[in-house]
C-alpha cells in the first residue's frame, strides 16, 4: 500500500481486516506524516509516539490472536486537548493548565482505548474552546493546510487541520457553538455535532455545559458515522446523557451513499442562506441543494424567524456558564500557581488573582467578565433570563420546521478560511463565523458539516450544513453520504485530493 495516511478510516479498517497492513504500520505512517508537516501546520500540542505505537502493537496482537475486535480497532486517532486523557497532558490550550496530566480518562477517550484506537496525541485549540480560528491558543495558532496563511477554524482547528493534512484519519472535537462544524467547513473535512446528550461529556473540560458536545472529525461521512457510533451512547457518569440507544448511524451512511433520497423533505433555512455570506460559499451551497433535488429530495424554504437572535442569545448563555465553570481554576488544587510580586504574605485570594491574571488569555477574561456581569444581581433577569427565553423560541422554531421537513440545510460558515490576524482584534467579527452553527447548540439538535466544494474567489473549501431533529442523528448520515457521493462523482475525487501539498508531502 503506497501511502497509508491517505486511507480513510473505513479503508484502513478494511485493510487491517484483510491483513494488508498492520496497526503499527498505520500508526507509524501517521507519526511520520506528523513529523514531516507539523512544523508548518502545528495541529498538535502533544504527540505521544511511544504510547500510540504501544497501543498499535497491542491491537495487532489482538488481531493475530483472533480476539473479537471493534470495527475501528487499530485505526489511529487524534484527540482535542479539552478531553481528559489519563497520563497525557491536557491543557485546553491554556497556560493555566500547562503541564496538567489528568488522573482519569474522559468517557469518550476510555471508549477509544477499549475499542483499540491508538491515540496519536492531543490537538491544538482556542483556549478553553473559545474562538473560531484557533488563534486564541496560548501555544500559538494552527495553520490551515489549504493555505498556511489562513486560519483552520476554531475552536477545534487542531483536530480539523490534523485530519485535513493527513496527520490522522480520525479526530475528536467538541462543539459548543460550532467548533467541530466550522473548522470542518474551512478545512474541507467532515464534522458532526451529535444530539445534546447523545455523547458523554464526562471528562470534557466544560466551557458551557448546556451547549457542549463531543463529536467526530473525519474525511468522510462514513468515517464520522463509525466514530460517532463508537463514542455515543448512555453514560451514567454524565447526568445529561440520554439513556436511549443510538439509531444505526453506520447503516444510514451506507444507505445514503447509494444516492437515493426520494421521499426526503429538505428545508433551506431562509435566515441562514442570504445576507452576510460570501458569494462563492452561497454558490457551492446552491449547487449542493440542486444535487439533493437530483437525488430525489423535495426542497422547500423554511423560515426560522428567531434564528436572527441566536448569536446574541449564545453570547449571553455561553459566557454565563463559562464564567461559572472557570471559577474552579483557582491555583489551589491544580494548574498554574503564581505568587504575586510585592506582597509578603499573600492571601489565597492574592494568589488566585495573580494566577488567573497570568494563566488566562484575553478572550477567556473577556468572557468571564461578560458572564459574571450578566449573572450579577440586578442584571440576571434582564440578560441571562431573557436569553433563556429566546433560547426556547429558537427551539420552537426548530420544532415547527421539523414538522414540515426531515432535515434543514444551510452553508456551515459564512466565509471560507480568513487570513491569520484578520479578525483577532475584532471579537464581534470573530463571533459572526458561528452565525449558522449556533442555533443547533442552543436547541440541542444534531448537525453535520461536509465539504461542498471550493469557492470561486479564493479556491478554498466551503461547508454544507445539515441539521436534524434531536435523536435523529441517522438523518445527517443518510443525507450527508448521499450528497458526498454526488459531489465526489462531480469532482472525480475527494476534495482533499485537491489541497496543495505541504512541505515533506510524499503524496
Ligand atoms: N466559536 C464559538 C465560540 O467562540 C464556538 C466555540 C465552540 O464551539 N467551542 O464560542
Note the pLDDT of residue 333. Answer: 86
pLDDT at 12 over 70: yes
Closest CA to 482 of 453, 436, 450: 450
Of 23, 80, 95, 410, which is the active-site residue? 80
**CA 194 to each of CA 97, 119, 124, 138, 470: distance values in angstroms, whole numbers, following the listed order:** 27, 22, 21, 28, 9
> Considering 59, 94, 132, 179, which one is annotated as catalytic?
179
From 80, 177, 414, 442, the mutation candidate for ligand 1 (largest count of ligand atoms within 8 A of CB) is 177
Quick one: pLDDT at residue 275?
83
Out of 132, 157, 172, 311, give the residue to mutate to test ligand 1, the one with the largest number of ligand atoms within 8 Å of its CB.
Answer: 132
Mean pLDDT of 75-85: 98
- Residue in 482, 12, 481, 485 with CA at minimum distance from that of residue 222: 481
CA of 292 to the centre of ligand 1 (A): 29
CB 55 within 8 A of CB 77: no
Active-site option among 59, 132, 137, 155:
155
- Our answer to whether residue 423 is catalytic in this structure is no
What's the farthest any 2 CA atoms get from each other in the chain? 74
The predicted pLDDT at position 276 comes to 87
pLDDT of residue 504: 52
Q: How far is the CA of 496 from the centre of ligand 1 (A)?
A: 25
Helices 473-491, 249-257: crossing angle, 10 deg rounding: 30
323 assigned to active site: no
Give percent above pLDDT 70 in the chain: 99
- Exposure class string for 247-279: b at 16+ Cβ within 10 A, else e: bebbebbbbbbebebeebebbbbebbbeeebbe
Look at residue 474 and tell me whether its pLDDT is greater than 50: yes
- The arithmetic mean of pLDDT across residues 7-32, rounded, is 98
**Closest CA to ligand 1's atom 4:** 131
pLDDT of residue 507: 42
Please report the pLDDT score of residue 300 as a whole number. Answer: 98
- Report how far ligand 1's centroid is from the alpha carbon of 155 (Å): 6
Does residue 80 have an active-site annotation?
A: yes
Integer Cα distance of 16 and 71 in angstroms: 10
Given the CA of residue 182, which atom of ligand 1 is nearest to it? 1
How far is the centre of ligand 1, averaged over its atoms, from the C-alpha of 402 (Å)? 25
Model confidence at 334, pLDDT cuts 50, 70, 90, reads confident
Q: Helix or strand or coil: residue 194? A: coil
For 37-65, write each residue's pLDDT tens digit. Answer: 999 999 999 999 999 999 999 999 999 99
Pocket of ligand 1 (CB under 6 A): 129-132, 154-155, 175-179, 207, 318, 434
pLDDT value, residue 503:
63
Average pLDDT over every residue of 150-159:
98
Quote the pLDDT of residue 205.
98
Task: Look at residue 506 and tell me whether its pLDDT is greater than 80.
Answer: no
- Count of CB atoms situated within 10 Å of the CB of 129: 29
* Structure-block grid coordinates of residue 457: 474567489
Question: Does residue 288 have a pLDDT over 80?
Answer: yes
Q: What average pLDDT does range 450-459 have in this prediction?
A: 98
> How far is Cα 106 from Cα 112, in angstroms, rounded to an integer?
10
- Mean pLDDT of the region 278-282: 97
Q: Could you tell me which of 453, 478, 475 has the C-alpha nearest to residue 463?
A: 453
CATH 3.40.50.170 fits 3-300+394-498, yes or no: no
Give the Å distance between the CA of 41 and the centre of ligand 1: 21
How far, in Å, CA of 449 to CA of 185, rounded? 6
pLDDT confidence bin for 294, thresholds 50/70/90: very high
Mutation test residue for ligand 1: of 124, 318, 320, the one with most atoms within 8 Å of CB: 318
pLDDT at 1: 55
Q: Whose CA is nearest to atom 10 of ligand 1?
A: 130
Domain extents for the chain?
A: 3-300+394-498, 308-391
Out of 92-96, 180-184, 227-231, 332-336, least confident range? 332-336
Amino acid at each position: 500500500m503506497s501511502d497509508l495516511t491517505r486511507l480513510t478510516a473505513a479503508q484502513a479498517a478494511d485493510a487491517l481486516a484483510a491483513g494488508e497492513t498492520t496497526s503499527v504500520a498505520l500508526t507509524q505512517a501517521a507519526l511520520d506524516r506528523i513529523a514531516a508537516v507539523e512544523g508548518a501546520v502545528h495541529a498538535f500540542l502533544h504527540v505521544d509516539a511511544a504510547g500510540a505505537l504501544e497501543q498499535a502493537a497491542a491491537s495487532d496482537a489482538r488481531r493475530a490472536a483472533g480476539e473479537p475486535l471493534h470495527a475501528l480497532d487499530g485505526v489511529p486517532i487524534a484527540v482535542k486537548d479539552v478531553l481528559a486523557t489519563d497520563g497525557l497532558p491536557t491543557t485546553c490550550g491554556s497556560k493555566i493548565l500547562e503541564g496538567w496530566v489528568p488522573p482519569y480518562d474522559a468517557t469518550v477517550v476510555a471508549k477509544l482505548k477499549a475499542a483499540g484506537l491508538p491515540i496519536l496525541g492531543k490537538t491544538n485549540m482556542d483556549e478553553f474552546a473559545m474562538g473560531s480560528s484557533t488563534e486564541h491558543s496560548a501555544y500559538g495558532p494552527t495553520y490551515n493546510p489549504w493555505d498556511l496563511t489562513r486560519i483552520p477554524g476554531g475552536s477545534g482547528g487542531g483536530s480539523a487541520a490534523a485530519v485535513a493534512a493527513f496527520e490522522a484519519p480520525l479526530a475528536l472535537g467538541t462543539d459548543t457553538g460550532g467548533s467541530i462544524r466550522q473548522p470542518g467547513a474551512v478545512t474541507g473535512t467532515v464534522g458532526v455535532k451529535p444530539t445534546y446528550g447523545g455523547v458523554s461529556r464526562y471528562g470534557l473540560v466544560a466551557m458551557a455545559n448546556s451547549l457542549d458536545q463531543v463529536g467526530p472529525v473525519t474525511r468522510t461521512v462514513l468515517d464520522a458515522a463509525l466514530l460517532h457510533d463508537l463514542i455515543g451512547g448512555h453514560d451514567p457518569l454524565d447526568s445529561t446523557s440520554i439513556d436511549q440507544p443510538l439509531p444505526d448511524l453506520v447503516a444510514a451512511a451506507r444507505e445514503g451513499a447509494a444516492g437515493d433520497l426520494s421521499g426526503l423533505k429538505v428545508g433551506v433555512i431562509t435566515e441562514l442562506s442570504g445576507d452576510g455570506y460570501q458569494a462563492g460559499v452561497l454558490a457551492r451551497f446552491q449547487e449542493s441543494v440542486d444535487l439533493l433535488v437530483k437525488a430525489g429530495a423535495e426542497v422547500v424554504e423554511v423560515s426560522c424567524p428567531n434564528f436572527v437572535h441566536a448569536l446574541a442569545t449564545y453570547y449571553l448563555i455561553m459566557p454565563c456558564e463559562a464564567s461559572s465553570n472557570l471559577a474552579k481554576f483557582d491555583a489551589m488544587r491544580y494548574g498554574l500557581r503564581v505568587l504575586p510580586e510585592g506582597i509578603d504574605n499573600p492571601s489565597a485570594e492574592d494568589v488566585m488573582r495573580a494566577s488567573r491574571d497570568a494563566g488566562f488569555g484575553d478572550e477567556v477574561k473577556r468572557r468571564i467578565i461578560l458572564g459574571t456581569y450578566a449573572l450579577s444581581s440586578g442584571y440576571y433577569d434582564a440578560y441571562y433570563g431573557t436569553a433563556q427565553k429566546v433560547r426556547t423560541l429558537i427551539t420552537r422554531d426548530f420544532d415547527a420546521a421539523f414538522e414540515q421537513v426531515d432535515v434543514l440545510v444551510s452553508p456551515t460558515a459564512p466565509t471560507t478560511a480568513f487570513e491569520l490576524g484578520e479578525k483577532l482584534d475584532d471579537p464581534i467579527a470573530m463571533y459572526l463565523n458561528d452565525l449558522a452553527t449556533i442555533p443547533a447548540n442552543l436547541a440541542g439538535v444534531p448537525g453535520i458539516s461536509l465539504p461542498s466544494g471550493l469557492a470561486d474567489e479564493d479556491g478554498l473549501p466551503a461547508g454544507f450544513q445539515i441539521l436534524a431533529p434531536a435523536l435523529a442523528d441517522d438523518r445527517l448520515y443518510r443525507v450527508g453520504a448521499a450528497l458526498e457521493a454526488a459531489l465526489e462523482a462531480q469532482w472525480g475525487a475527494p476534495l482533499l485530493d485537491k489541497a496543495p501539498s505541504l512541505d515533506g508531502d510524499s503524496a
